[in-house]
Amino acid sequence: MADIIQLLPDHVANQIAAGEVVQRPASVVKELMENAIDAGASTVKLIIKEGGKTLIQVIDDGVGMSATDARLSFERHATSKIRKAEDLFNLNTNGFRGEALASIAAIAHVEMQSRTEEDEVATHIRIEGSKVISQEVTVAPKGTSMMVKNLFFNIPARRNFLKSTQVELRHIIDEFHRVALAHPSISFHFYNNGNEIFNLPSSNDRQRIVNVFGGKTNEKLVPVKEETQVVTISGFICKPEFSKKSRGEQFFFVNNRYIKSPYLHHAIVAAFDGLIKKDSYPGYFLYLTVDPGSIDINIHPTKTEVKFDDEHTLYAILRSTVKHSLGQFNVIPALDFDQDQNLETPYEYKNRSAEQPRVVVDSGFNPFKEEYIATGGRSNVQKPSTQGWESLYSGMDSQGERNNDFSSISFESDTITGSIFDDSKIGLDAVTTTFQLRRKYIVTTIKSGMVVIDQSRAHQRVLYENFLKNITVKEAVSQQLLFPLSLTFSKNDRDIIMEIQDNLTSIGFDFEAIGDEGIKISGVPLSVPESEVDMILEQLISDYHQDFVVDGFSQTDVLSKTLAKSLAVKTGEVLDRDSQLALVNDLFACKESRLSPFNKSVYVTITEDDIDKKFL
């Protein structure tokens, strides 16, 4: 039998490696920015066009590379960080595998300019699909400029799987946040399609968080500080009242590297137990410093997952540290049994002496007198006169009124149109009987038996179709607020609201202004309570962070689903008979009454035959 195993060509191997390292434009941004930080840059500029599909450029003022190093950096497993296997367990840098540049060059058009401080000229290299097109001398400042154009140009299938420009841009912003928050001492600039998105000067941890997420974030933060032999913890947690429906502001950094750890996240949630709602998530920005030899950061190609030697101890320390910070800064309600607050003297009365109260008694007070003048208040208390009450009925014909037998009075009534449902529907009886079961289901009779309806799913279907209609027809009614509602969101969240502003306006939202610090709403839809606007928008932003949200109908669909889910009747709410009938009537007037907007069954039918079989 002939030999069938052979070595892959380098360009094929690089494309396979690119499938692990480069998943989308945000992956390229992460790798290039981390390389700039490892180069000792003090200023990093990120330039994006068309969500990173057309251009990704990272410019830094780091140490730069010589001509030999610049050319060698695009080879597989070429790195300056690793010399022997033991070095993998003593890493203090971000990039170390030597796969990033080789993988990026295999699937894009790459141009690099780099110059060291000792060299007088820079090196300019152009690579297309792992093939070096040119290497020449040029003039450039100290540092490195990496330009990645036409990502996945030679892999059309991968390019077709990319999401819309807005979705890819949001992923890039997320990666930018993670790198910028991990390195507050470095200045970062972010440009998208020629517009400056972020300008972050060198600062400390707290100021960097405020610069990224807005000035209102400062009042949310509670400092966290703990130093042990296992780990040193610093950073901030958000106050419980600022918890959100989404997981947006949750960051773990281990040795200045962003990581994802569901296990450590559970420790934070456990510390907030009882302080936030069940479906809400706390915000935190925590920086952990551990011995590099006690973690393994080489278990995932993107290096966002790490393995700790002693996770249980770290869990306990993190949970107790967060609880201590919440209690130390009076975030957790506490009772002091050693001091009675009722006996505390206000500050302004601290140095005052007690005064004997004076009691004044009116010895001549007689409550049975028709007129009494109060001595203390100088006010007149007089019993109203009943004289002349007959004048109230002057001009009325008492005799005519007495002879009226009400024979000419007519009564208004609603027009009876027969069954409240068409015969083409499930066929409800003319006289419909409904009742609520377990505050969850509505049971009503039909000609062949009965129907059990899930009240929450039914209301979701009704609201969903109403919102879809309002967005399409754009004839929704808005109720104006007496005072505009001011809400605070991060820059990324405000961009999402601006993106869907037209659809929100179509269903009744009226935006007065969308500024740098937040938004002002002067009108809301009729079915939306003012107190729930913040919650609805947070849930909407959380849904739009998902990858399935794209332009066109999907945007309208997600908006309608979110509003329907937020405003629908919940399980446990009591509905009176009129509300039950109205909900049943509206449900079977929908175009699709069998399924909720989330493709779950709305009702089940129990026929008379099914009931008879139970008695056999």
Residues 539/277, Cβ–Cβ less than 8 Å: no
**CATH class of the domain at 10-200:** alpha beta
pLDDT score for 327:
85
Mean pLDDT of 142-165: 88
Q: Residue 479 has what pLDDT?
A: 85
Give the start-to-end residue ranges of the domains of the chain. 10-200, 205-328, 434-605
* Rg from Cα positions in the chain: 35
Superfamily of domain 434-605 in the CATH hierarchy? MutL, C-terminal domain, regulatory subdomain (3.30.1370.100)
Residues above pLDDT 90, as percent of the chain: 33
* Residue 2 pLDDT exceeds 60: yes
Average pLDDT (389-401) is: 59
**What tens digit of pLDDT does each residue of 275-301 get?**
888 778 899 999 999 988 788 776 566
pLDDT tens digits, 327-369: 887 666 555 555 555 556 666 666 677 677 777 777 777 777 6
Mean pLDDT, rounded, for 236-261:
87
Q: Against a cut of 0.75, is the pTM above it?
A: no
Position 449 confidence tier, pLDDT thresholds 50, 70, 90: confident
The pLDDT, as a whole number, for residue 445 is: 86
**pLDDT band, very low/low/confident/very high, at 424 (cuts 50, 70, 90):** very low
Overall average pLDDT of the 477-482 stretch: 84
Order of strands across the sheet with 519-525?
478-487, 519-525, 510-514
What is the overall mean pLDDT for the chain?
A: 81
Q: Residues 505-553: pLDDT tens digits?
A: 888 888 888 876 678 899 888 878 888 888 888 888 877 766 445 445 5
What's the confidence (pLDDT) of residue 266? Answer: 92
CATH 3.30.230.10 correct for 205-328: yes
* 106 Cβ contact list (under 8 Å, min separation 6): 11, 14, 15, 17, 18, 129, 130
Q: Which of 476, 518, 499 is nearest to 558 (CA)?
A: 499
Integer Cα distance of 288 and 255 in angstroms: 6
* 485: alpha, beta or left? (left if phi > 0; alpha if psi -120 to 50): beta
- Report pLDDT for 377: 45
The answer to whether 10-200 and 434-605 have equal CATH topology is no
Is the predicted pLDDT of residue 468 greater than 90, yes or no?
A: no
Residue 541 near residue 497, CB atoms below 8 Å:
yes
Residues 6+ apart with CB under 8 A from 524: 478, 479, 481, 485, 508, 509, 510, 530, 533
Amino acid found at 37? I
Structure tokens at 257: 């590297």
- Percentage above 70 pLDDT, the chain: 77
Show Cβ contacts of residue 556 under 8 Å, excluding neighbours closer than 6 positions: 468, 471, 472, 503
**Residues 195-233: tens digit of each pLDDT:** 998 999 999 999 999 999 888 888 889 999 999 998 999
CA distance 122 to 113: 6
568-597: pLDDT as tens digits: 998 889 999 889 999 999 999 999 999 999
